[in-house]
A and B are shown apart, each in its own frame.
Chain A
Amino acid sequence: MAGGQAGILTNSRIRDRGVLDLAMSRVTLETLPDYARYLIAAAEGASASYPVTRKIRLPRLELTGHLGPGVLADALGHAFVETRGDQPESSRCRIFIAHPGIHGIPEPARWGDAHFTEHGFAKRLAEAGLRGHHFHDLDFWQFYDPQRRVGVQLMGSADAFPPWEPGAPLRAFLHWEYAARGMRLAHAGTLGANGKGVLLAGAGGAGKSGTVAAGLLNGLDSVGDDYVLIDLANGVTARPLFSTLKQDPQGFARLGLKRRVPANAPLNWQGKHAFHIGDIAPRPVPAMLDIVALMVPHISGGGASSIMPVSRRDAMIALAPSGIAQMPGERESGFRFFSDLTRLLPCYRLSLGTQPQEIAGTIAEFLARGAS
């Protein structure tokens, strides 16, 4: 391991440590950091073999993806809201999306330790200065070295990725990179006007996506309906990362999205319509929203929407669990981050009526009152 090249294993060292043997067999908690470094080294070593390179400009980050053609390459081309203009304090990271069809890339190993916990897996890697995630069904591995800003996503074949990956590609890597800088991907929707916005927190099914779509269709802005980048450095700000919006067929019909969005694409893995924020947004997606409130949406079934105070404890429990569960590793830092966020904002329960225009009007009125 040469000085500044922390984490890179040379071929001879790989052989010495038996990591090649390990790569062909099963990974245990003990060998996990070596396997992660081996894969990162193998992916970097094959850098000339990736047919496609995609550069994506995100808030304070330029991500370069090296991969083959196909669904993921297409997703890297259209699933992000790219940042415009010059960016101060921007960093660069490289992610290799690899599979054995690319020269020099090994077959993925299997998890061989009988005892697996998400937390134990993440803790073991964190002790070695690394981050990672493993999806057992597909022998799908993601490893990231935040110090060197290099990551690898190893798949058994070009299309052996989890079905949610194209909607929010490389989400785990963005989570690790931004967490290392004190920012955070939150599992939350957003709506805003005139640069001010609200964060909509809650697990799937709480009404986040439908509320965001209702707002966009009725003149409000949004920086995302599922995952947004939160920074607490100067108040609470939310920035866009992913352009994908989702709606189940009932919501799609109720919101009249058929008239706005081409509905001939197949439903996604959740049986939902997937489309892009630009399809329904009234204006270009803002670079940032100053978040003025945390709202917990709730489908009330009643006629009119309402916004009532809710305890910070309940808001935190609505916000944090899905954000932490869906982002591998960094649990304690996430808990502290979301706690700080919750303390910085007034918290409300948003009881959702049935009419999209009325829901959007309720939030617009709240923002106008709060911003005045």
Chain B
Amino acid sequence: MRHADVYAIASKDVVFESFDGEAVVLDLSSGKYFGFSDSGSKIWQALSSGVDAQALIGLTAGASTIGPAELDRFVSQLVELRLLTRSDAPAQPLPGDLLAELAATSEPLNVSIHDDLADLIIVDPIHEVEEPLGWPAVKQAS
């Protein structure tokens, strides 16, 4: 990781809500949903609000300590999923209650992808109707 690893939400099409401390993110442009574990939700909230990723290393989360490799994997995944992007903005301080909230989590850093109903149409479309969905799922032309 660089000296300061600051990230921002990758686009205006990435929206999220929190449910009892657990985040659900929707990429409006693709229709993909992302569900975060409890510790992943806290890290998502910190990173998406501009906290330096390096400031999260060594904190207690999910009954263990966040290591640099584990955090790097998680952040890289969020960047690959186009949920986060690097930012040149100045790093924001750790929210005061984050340490206690992270310490209270019980699950490892994780994000699950729910894309079975996502848009698959990108270019000149070929449609196939997926019967169980009750609505056409459009398969991308090869």
Chain A residues engaging chain B, CB cutoff 8 angstroms: 114-120, 135-137, 162-164, 203-205, 226, 269-271, 311-314, 316-317, 320-322, 324-326, 331-332, 335-336, 339, 342-343
Contacts and interface: CB of A to CB of B under 8 A. Distances in A.
B28 A331 contact: yes
Given A162-B136, A270-B131, A317 B119 contact: no
A332 B15 contact: yes
B33 A119 contact: no
User: Which applies to chain A's interface (DSSP): helix, strand, loop or mixed?
Assistant: helix
A142 B19 CA distance: 35
B132 A204 contact: yes
Given A270-B131, A324-B26, A335-B26, 11 more contacts: A116-B122, A311-B20, A311-B22, A313-B22, A313-B24, A313-B36, A316-B24, A321-B116, A325-B117, A325-B118, A331-B31
B30 to A, nearest CB: 8
Contacts of A339: 17, 19, 24
B123 A115 contact: yes
B124 interface: yes
Given A205-B132, A321-B117, A339-B19, A119 B29 contact: yes
B82 interface: no
A261 B121 CA distance: 39
B125 interface: yes
Contact of B121 (A118, A321, A331, A342): A118
Given A119-B28, A204-B133, A204-B134, A312 B121 contact: no
Given A119-B13, A135-B136, A317-B33, A203 B116 contact: yes
Contacts of B129: 163, 269
Interface of B: 13, 15, 17, 19-20, 22-24, 26, 28-31, 33, 35-36, 114, 116-119, 121-125, 127, 129, 131-136, 138
Contacts of A120: 29
Contacts of A317: 24, 33, 35, 114
Contacts of B121: 116-118
B123 A118 contact: no
B104 to A, nearest CB: 15
A204 B116 CA distance: 11
Given A203-B117, A204-B132, A331-B28, A137 B127 contact: yes
Contacts of B24: 313, 316-317, 320, 339
Given A203-B116, A203-B132, A325 B127 contact: no
B142 to A, nearest CB: 15
A103 to B, nearest CB: 31
A148 to B, nearest CB: 26
Nearest to B115: A321
B113 to A, nearest CB: 11
A278 B130 CA distance: 28
A119 B119 CA distance: 9
Contacts of A342: 19
11 contacts: A115-B123, A116-B124, A119-B28, A313-B19, A317-B33, A320-B24, A320-B26, A321-B114, A325-B133, A332-B28, A335-B28
A271 B134 CA distance: 11
A343 B125 CA distance: 37
- 10 closest A-B pairs by beta carbon, nearest first, are A312-B19, A204-B132, A313-B22, A339-B17, A325-B117, A326-B135, A205-B132, A321-B117, A313-B19, A331-B28
A162 B31 CA distance: 22
A168 to B, nearest CB: 9
B131 A343 contact: no
Contacts of A114: 123-124
Contacts of B13: 119
B110 to A, nearest CB: 12
Contacts of B133: 203-204, 322, 325-326
Contacts of B23: 313
A83 to B, nearest CB: 24
A297 to B, nearest CB: 14
Contact of B20 (A115, A205, A312, A335): A312
Given A321-B33, A331-B26, A331-B31, A343 B19 contact: yes
Contact of B134 (A137, A164, A314): A164
Contacts of A343: 19
A108 B140 CA distance: 23
A235 B132 CA distance: 31
